[in-house]
Amino acid sequence: MTFLEPVADWIVGVYNYRIVALYADEFARGITNTLLAASASLVLSLVLGTALAGMRLSPSRLISIPAEVYIQAIRSTPLLLQIYIVYFALPHLVPATARWPELWIGILALTLHTAPYMAEIIRSGIQSVAKGQIEGGLAVGMTFRQRAQHIVLPQAFANILPSLLGQTAILVKDTSLLSLITVFDLVAAGMLLNSERIKPNEGFLSVAVIYFAIYLLLLVASRYVERKLAGPAWNKAAA
């Protein structure tokens, strides 16, 4: 018996990777649904959040107040409650949605929940752009759309990139609640392994490690985008 054999036996006793390997297909399906729900909700919440940020910045109270009420209502109630409301109430309000897959319902609930947080982040980014640059665009004859597209939004998103990363990481973790409406996500895969094999370490440690790996990928992607947006100045600062 070598020294490594007792160590290997202890590792298998704490975390039996052989059992996890048997559920590789289930974890792959859970990861796919988790990433699909997170990515779709991220795109939709950015679109809706940008619209809400524009409404909040509107000088008209008829436009800004409804957006503020919606933002505060979502931020003051738990995500789990919102998921249940969308899951159970939406089919009664819009009967056509009764035929939607649970994953679509989950994406909608996550979008409605995340959009207000994105709106506040985007609003702060827009307000961080120097007024002189906006006035300069106006002076050269740019329209409102051109100023927003070429001056305001690019700088705003560059300024709020770390905050967007943080909110995206939260969104990925929030997908774990979709298992409560029978969406087979990453957490559901871990719960399946635990329920069939009574192996909580193998089930939930695997889920935790995969979530951590997803976060690391998001961090690398964020640093890459930040470097590209900053251009040569970022490279000089990093050196």
Work out the number of other CB atoms within 10 angstroms of the CB of residue 137: 18
> Minimum mean pLDDT among 21-30, 102-111, 142-151, 202-211: which range?
142-151
Biggest alpha carbon–alpha carbon distance for the chain: 82
Q: Rounded distance, CA 70 to CA 78, Å?
A: 14
**CA 129 and chain centroid, separation:** 25
> Contact, 147 vs 134, CB < 8 A?
yes
Who's near 51: CB < 8 A, 6+ residues apart?
none
Could you give phi then psi for residue 141, rounded to 5 degrees?
Answer: 95, 15
Work out the number of other CB atoms within 10 angstroms of the CB of residue 74: 17
pLDDT band at residue 7 under the 50/70/90 scheme: low
- The model's pTM is 0.85
Mean pLDDT for 108-135 is 90
Who's near 238: CB < 8 A, 6+ residues apart?
227
Burial 106-118 (b: 16+ CB within 10 A, else e): bbbbbbbbbbbbb
Residue with tokens 């490594």: 4
Q: How many CA atoms lie within 13 A of 161 on its CB side?
A: 17
Q: Rounded distance, CA 31 to CA 188, Å?
A: 10
Over 90: is that where the pLDDT of 62 sits?
A: yes
CA angle (35, 166, 161) in 5-degree steps = 100
What single letter denotes the amino acid at residue 178? L
Return mean pLDDT, the chain: 87
CATH of segment(s) 4-238: 1.10.3720.10
Over 70: is that where the pLDDT of 133 sits?
A: yes
**Which pair of tokens denotes residue 156?**
């705003």
> Contact, 29 vs 210, CB < 8 A?
no
H or E element, residue 37: helix 24-56
Q: What is the pLDDT of residue 143?
A: 82
